């Protein structure tokens, strides 16, 4: 997401850029950049870990606390989602789905604090998509064997080999681009709204951009809150569908 305070400094240009590079180091001829996204990811992880610790400490069998009730409801909800979407035999994927869902939501909601949303960095979404792609491929090899997996690229006829390879590559690309496009696009639109309202305030002779008070919050509810939850849910649903579809149905096994 964009840094809103810049619009209040009198700048006549709207700057839309990627994450700031804090530092870099060399490994041979390769330059590796240390960006703000890495710091923000650690903040998100710390928030999730603290939330997990807070909700699950002092667990009891009887006379449970409200915290424990919330934790049990959350675990039951994500478990039921995985069971209903993938089937009972895929419940081992529940921790991964829950982690991606929480990380996506918390990473997107960072923009509400004025920080850059973690999910507006394409490298973050690519890493998630690659992990999902590895799981999809591992599932195919697990059920069809390596030979069956490679043979599948020439199904139904050998001439389909290039298209099947392209389709395989398109899976992680589509996962990453869909999530990134919606979050990053929402950040750009939000920035444009602030910039436009600031310009309108100056055109009316207002020294303080009063039009930026309140109005952008309405759009923020959609782009930051609703869209953040929706994209996290869609990413997880597609992940579950792709992985479960990589294996034969339970009736066939």
Please name which of 186, 155, 185, 180 lies closest in space to residue 232, comparing C-alpha atoms. 180
By the 8 A CB rule, do 222 and 189 touch?
no
The structure tokens listed for 70 are 């919330």
Q: What is the 3-state secondary structure (H, E, C) of the chain?
A: CCCHHHHHCCCCCCCCCCCCEEEEEEECCEEEEEEHHHHHHHHHHHHHHHHHHHHHCCCCCCCCCHHHHHHHHHHHHHHHHHHHHHCHHHHHHHHHHHHHHHHHHHHHHHHHHCCCCHHHCHHHHHHHHHHHHHHHHHHHHHHHHHHHHHHHHHCCCHHHHHHHHHHHHHHHHHHHHHHHHHHHHHHHHHHHHHHHHHHHHHHCCCCCCHHHCCHHHHHHHHHHHHHHHHHHHHHHHHHHHHHHHCCCCCCCC
Q: Which of 174, 192, 200, 137 is nearest to 16 (CA)?
A: 192
User: pLDDT 10s digit of each residue in the chain, 253 long?
Assistant: 444 444 444 444 555 667 788 888 778 788 777 888 889 999 999 999 999 999 888 888 888 889 889 999 999 999 999 999 998 889 999 999 999 999 999 988 887 777 888 888 888 999 999 999 999 999 989 888 888 888 888 888 888 888 888 988 888 888 898 888 888 877 777 777 777 777 777 777 776 666 667 666 677 777 777 888 888 999 999 999 999 888 877 655 5
């Amino acid at each position: 997401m964009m840094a809103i305070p810049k619009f209040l400094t009198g700048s006549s240009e709207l700057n839309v850029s990627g994450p700031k590079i804090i530092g870099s180091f060399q490994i041979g001829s390769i330059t590796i950049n240390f960006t703000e996204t890495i710091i923000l990811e650690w903040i998100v992880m710390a928030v999730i870990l603290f939330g997990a610790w807070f909700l699950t400490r002092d667990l009891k069998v009887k006379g449970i606390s409200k915290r424990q009730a919330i934790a049990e409801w959350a675990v039951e909800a994500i478990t039921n989602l995985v069971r209903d979407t993938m089937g009972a035999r895929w419940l081992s994927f529940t921790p991964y789905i829950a982690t991606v869902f929480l990380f996506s939501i918390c990473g997107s909601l960072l923009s509400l604090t004025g920080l850059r949303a973690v999910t507006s960095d394409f490298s973050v979404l690519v890493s998630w998509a690659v992990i999902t792609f590895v799981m999809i491929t591992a599932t195919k090899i697990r059920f069809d064997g390596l030979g069956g997996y490679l043979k599948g690229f020439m199904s139904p006829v050998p001439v389909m080999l290039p298209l099947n390879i392209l389709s395989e590559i398109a899976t992680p690309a589509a996962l990453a681009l869909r999530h990134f496009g919606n979050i990053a696009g929402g950040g750009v639109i939000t920035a444009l709204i602030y910039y436009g309202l600031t310009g309108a305030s100056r055109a009316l002779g207002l020294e303080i951009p009063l039009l930026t008070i309140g109005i952008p919050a309405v759009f923020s509810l959609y782009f930051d809150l609703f869209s953040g939850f929706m994209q996290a849910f869609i990413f997880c649903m597609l992940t579950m569908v792709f992985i479960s579809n990589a294996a034969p149905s339970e009736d066939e096994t």
